Amino acid sequence: MNWNKRLLKTPVLGDITKKIVSIKASREAHSIADHFTQFLQPQIATSEELRSEVFKIRHNVYCEELAFEDIREDGEEKDEFDEQSIFSLIKHKPSNTFTSCVRLVKSGGPDQLLPIEKYCMSSITNANLSPERFNRAEIAEISRLAVKSDFRRRQADKFKGSGTGVISETSYSETELRCFPFIAIGLYMAAATMGMNTGIRHVYVMMEPRLARSMKFIGITFQQLGAPVEYHGLRAPYYISPDIFMSNLSPGFKSLYQTIELDICQQLEQLG
Domains identified in the chain and CATH numbers: 3-271 (3.40.630.30)
Q: What is the pLDDT of residue 232?
A: 80
What does the alpha-carbon distance between residue 26 and residue 255 come to, in Å, rounded to a whole number?
9
Q: What is the pLDDT of residue 23?
A: 56
Q: What is the pLDDT of residue 267?
A: 87
Q: How far is CA 175 from the centre of its chain?
A: 22
Query: What's the Rg (C-alpha) of the chain?
Result: 18
Q: Residues 6 or more apart from 253 whose CB is under 8 A from it?
A: 25, 26, 29, 185, 218, 219, 220
What does the alpha-carbon distance between residue 121 and residue 119 come to, in Å, rounded to a whole number?
6
Phi, psi of 37 (to 5 degrees): -65, -35
Helices 209-217 and 13-39 cross at an angle (nearest 10°) of 80
Q: What is the pLDDT of residue 20?
A: 52
Reported as a single tens digit per residue, the pLDDT across 31-45 is: 667 777 788 899 999
What does the alpha-carbon distance between residue 54 and residue 36 come to, in Å, rounded to a whole number?
20
Residues of the chain where predicted confidence (pLDDT) is lower than 70: 1-32, 152-181, 272
Beta strands in 28-174 (DSSP E): 40-44, 85-92, 97-106, 139-147
Q: What is the pLDDT of residue 25?
A: 55
What does the longest C-alpha to C-alpha distance in the chain come to?
A: 53
> Helix, strand or coil for residue 120?
coil
Give just the sign of the alpha carbon dihedral 133, 136, 138, 141: positive
